[in-house]
Amino acid sequence: MITYRTHSIHSKEIKKLSEQTAAACTVKEIRGRTMNSQQPSSDGPDRDNINIRSDHITFELEMSELLLLSFDPPAFLYQEYRDTSKQQEIEQRRQRENLSPGVKAGSVVAGSGVISPPVLQLQLRNSAQSLSLWQNLEAVQASGLLTQLPHKEIIMQEAMFELVTSEASYYKSLEILETHFLRNPVLINTLSQSDMHFLFSNIEEVMKASERFLMDLEHRIEESILISDVCDIVCYHAVEHFSVFIKYVINQVYQEKNYRRILEGNQAFREAMAALENHPRVRGLSFTSFLILPFQRITRLKLLVQNILKKAEENTDREANAIKAHQQLEQIVKECNEGVRKMSRTEELISIEKTLEFKSKSVPIISHSRWLLKKGEVQLMAGPKSTRTMRSRKLYQPVYLFLFNNLLLVTKRSGDKFQVLDSCTRAMLRTEDLEDQGQLLASVFNLRLLENQEERPVSYMLKTSSMSDKLRWMCALTPNRRTRFMSTSAHQPDSPQVQCIQSYSSQEPDELSTEMADILNLLERTDDGWMMGERLHDGERGWFPSRIVEEIQSKEVRAQNLREAFRIQQAHESGAGQTGGRSGLRVGRRTPKVSSFSNPWTGQMGDSSEVNQ
């Protein structure tokens, strides 16, 4: 049974829904635990093992009349769920690589012993250390549905069920952030009111949104053993309640800085935090792993909806709801990213401008439409260029490049300052690789400024510290140059792909932060351990170390990955023309038997804004 813990700041409508939902069923303990085994409901005593009567009627839990499903409370904190889920995605793709040659991904060969990906996915998730499965619910197993439904529908049920159970896991982790950290009196006494706000921001609003969302998801599961849909609920909440994520994520820029400041300068806080992080309840997880939960969740939620969209039959209500939900979530993620980037980019521009010294014509650096792409030192080759002089160190002098999205500055370091020697708009830059002219020029390339700050053409011969550094500079300086491999947009099914087996946080502006199980189309690779790729699910590009990925060898798996990516892209293109403003969106929903929800979702799906990520 599902029991609800209503958050103290929750709306009266949701409280009433919780009470009426609980009154319509019998609450029982599952394996000695409930969803609230550690926290009693805020609006009443602990309800474990209590039969609640409504109108003096006890609803018997017979299989023929089952409306409320029994499932275990989340065994994982959300951080553990994410790691487990992503590792399973990796293992699933690895095993799909081992399918017999010529067997089309997604197919089932009768009597061949070949395991299709849907069955394989269920087997992987059904392991001892796996997440909850819809098919393992006692009600589902007793219903006979597993022998009646096709594999595709079982996989769809699992995809929707994972969205619900992962949300429950996420909310469990948020509760720990609230009760173990935010409400801890010892920790509170070490912080000023402003520091409390810096650290926790609007996390209570985020919790409120999550609780509303989780309750409606659980209510949908109560309606039937066979889940009808979840994306309509996702879409409604994304429009009506998920804007709180944007504010929280943008504030994370200050959150991280102030956490480090407080940790370094406040001994009482440092000691209290160490004790809280060592408590068994947090399972060895850090305080910061709880602070970043909202952004991790909203991005993961988008991928879960994307997974449902990939599995939905075309031209169905499920597909339509998944497209609209995905558009709304993508817009929220986009606004989160843009908000964070805008703040960090502006701070970076201010910092850079303070270090620049212009000899002649000054160039304004700070602009809302400008950001840093790459910076670093290279060697400028000066003087006569012969085989003999190329071996001389006197031939080279260091210069420091600042490359922005629309401007290049060629500077010379002088202590903490940088003297600007030359500048050029990025559109007027051209590069030429000199690798084929001998080993001495392997790390050298020509940079041509078609029109510099003095309105004349000039050419620089630059040497980098490595082959990968040269290629990274050339890709950044001239983004339209042809890469070794084709982009995803070229629709080449044989383009190499890699999947990430480790997470990676970018260290330079031209690098790409990745998560485990990300799939990337390979664009460039170097012999000294770097790759440039384009992530399939959002089109983001950047460099990353080759040690964090493994190449996908199977042509069938690569083709399926591309088909799924193109389907998401085409769905957005077809849906974008039918969408309008976010605020006018309403989601159609079956009216629950017992509910006083103030927004009954009785209208039709409205419009949503076009998303271009």
Low-confidence ranges of the chain (pLDDT < 70): 1-75, 98-131, 383-394, 435-440, 482-493, 572, 574-613
pLDDT of 248 reads 95
What DSSP string describes 204-239?
Answer: HHHHHHHHHHHHHHHHHHHH-SS---SHHHHHHHHH
Q: Are strands 549-551 and 541-545 parallel, antiparallel or unpaired?
A: unpaired
- Measured over all CA atoms, what is the biggest interatomic distance in the chain, rounded to whole angstroms? 100
> How do strand 429-433 and strand 519-525 relate by DSSP bridges?
unpaired
Contact (Cβ atoms closer than 8 angstroms) between residue 305 and residue 231: yes
pLDDT at 582: 43
| Cα atoms in the 13 Å half-sphere on the side-chain side of 224 | 9
User: Rg of the chain's alpha carbons, rounded to an integer?
Assistant: 28
Domains of the chain in sequence order: 120-346 (1.20.900.10), 359-385+392-477 (2.30.29.30), 487-570 (2.30.30.40)
Q: Would you say 443 and 464 are in contact if contact means Cβ atoms under 8 Å apart? A: yes
Token pair of 356, please?
A: 């620049």
Q: What is the pLDDT of residue 489?
A: 57
Specify the pLDDT at position 79. Answer: 79
Residue 255 sits at the vertex; the CA angle it makes with 201 and 518, to the nearest 5 degrees, is: 105
How much is the pLDDT for 445? 92
